[in-house]
Structures are given as structure tokens and as C-alpha cells.
Chain A
Amino acid sequence: GAVVSQHPSRVICKSGTSVKIECRSLDFQATTMFWYRQFPKQSLMLMATSNEGSKATYEQGVEKDKFLINHASLTLSTLTVTSAHPEDSSFYICSARDFKRGDYNEQFFGPGTRLTVL
């Protein structure tokens, strides 16, 4: 149990276009989902916390108009990178928390999406 999927796994786009990444909890309901980005050979940096039915909370330095997050249901959150530029190229990872489980703060991670902006 506690499987999180991401789609697509890889995406290549042209500079100036927008890209949507989906994060789904397959076998549990996730009231909270998190979005991270990871540059090559670096650690994960939290971008935003997404709560179902409410606006996402962005970390300092993350442009909310650039990275649009929608968490419309208990099993789906989307990250849209608007007007993508080469510096947005990164590995984007989502995670989800199962509010029915007693595990303390455990987040279940998706497999990641590699975005390359040409």
C-alpha cells in the first residue's frame, strides 16, 4: 500500500511553454501533498505544501505564479511550470501523506519527473 505515481516520468519542452506534472496517490487518500525539486547531485528542496481544497503554501523564494499547484481531490495534485526556461530543468518529486495512517509524518514519495527545457 501507500503508492504514489507521477506522470510523466520525463518531459522535454521548449522554452516559454508550460508543463503540467501530475502526482497521484493510488491506494490512499492524501490530504497533504508536497512538491520538491532536486538539481543534479543535490538534495531535495521543498517547493510547496499542497492541501486538498485550499491554496498551496510556498516556501520562501519559490514563485507561486511560476509554479502553479492545484490539489483538487484527495488523490491528485498537479504542478504546472509556466513559461518554462532552461533553468527550470530539474527533477521534480512529489510526496503524499496518508491522514488515516498513524505513521508520524511519514511521506510517501513518487518516482519523480525529469523536466528538460530546451
Chain B
Amino acid sequence: AQSVTQLGSHVSVSEGALVLLRCNYSSSVPPYLFWYVQYPNQGLQLLLKYTSAATLVKGINGFEAEFKKSETSFHLTKPSAHMSDAAEYFCAVSKAAGNKLTFGGGTRVLVKP
């Protein structure tokens, strides 16, 4: 079985500050890992994904994440927060064969001016 834990349901950052969202996973097989962003009353948009290639993955909107197998983590970062980054962020894991995504609980990001 797979599971995803996102530490911190809410994160507040100042505009221009570092954004760090934590995600830890458990999986019985090498995982495929994803970060999605959700704006209010909208579906999910893929930020980036890890599919067993480079461990440092760059995504859209200046986000990146690093896969650390030893720590079973896939934390999401952005060097400088922008007001438009205020949204809900979900980490998700899947196995290659099943295609089913298991989501973490989500982290809501608030950006202060």
C-alpha cells in the first residue's frame, strides 16, 4: 500500500521568501511522485513529477522538488514566493502499473505581502 504525508496543513510565507512544502511517502515499489496545485474551486494542475530519472525535478512557476530515497521524501521548494503562489498544494504517489494516485492531505499556502 502507498501513503503520502504532508507535514503542515497550512504554511504562511512572506512574499519573496522561500517556500518549502514537505512530503514523505511510503511505497512498496519505486514510486512515481507528483506535486499538484489547486486554486479555489478548480481542478488540479501538475507542477512537477518524479519518474525515476533525475532526482532534482524542476517544474512550472519556478518550483522544484528533490527525491531523496533514503529519507523517503519529495519536498517542494520555490526560492521566492509570489502572491500568485497562494493555493493548495498536493503531493501524490503512484505505482507504475496501477496508475492510481494516492494524495497527501494537502498544504494550503498563504503569501503575505
Which A residues fall within an 8 A CB radius of B?
Answer: 4, 6, 32, 34, 41-46, 49, 91, 93, 95, 97, 103-112, 114
Contacts and interface: CB of A to CB of B under 8 A. Distances in A.
Given A42-B106, A95-B43, A112-B41, 9 more contacts: A44-B90, A91-B41, A106-B34, A107-B101, A109-B36, A109-B43, A109-B44, A111-B42, A112-B42
Contacts, number: 59
Contacts of B106: 42-43
Nearest to A10: B41
A65 to B, nearest CB: 22
Interface of B: 32, 34, 36, 41-46, 49, 51, 90, 94, 96, 99-106, 108
B51 A44 contact: no
B43 A106 contact: no
Nearest to A110: B43
Interface of A is mostly: strand
A112 B43 contact: yes
A15 B60 CA distance: 42
A49 B100 contact: yes
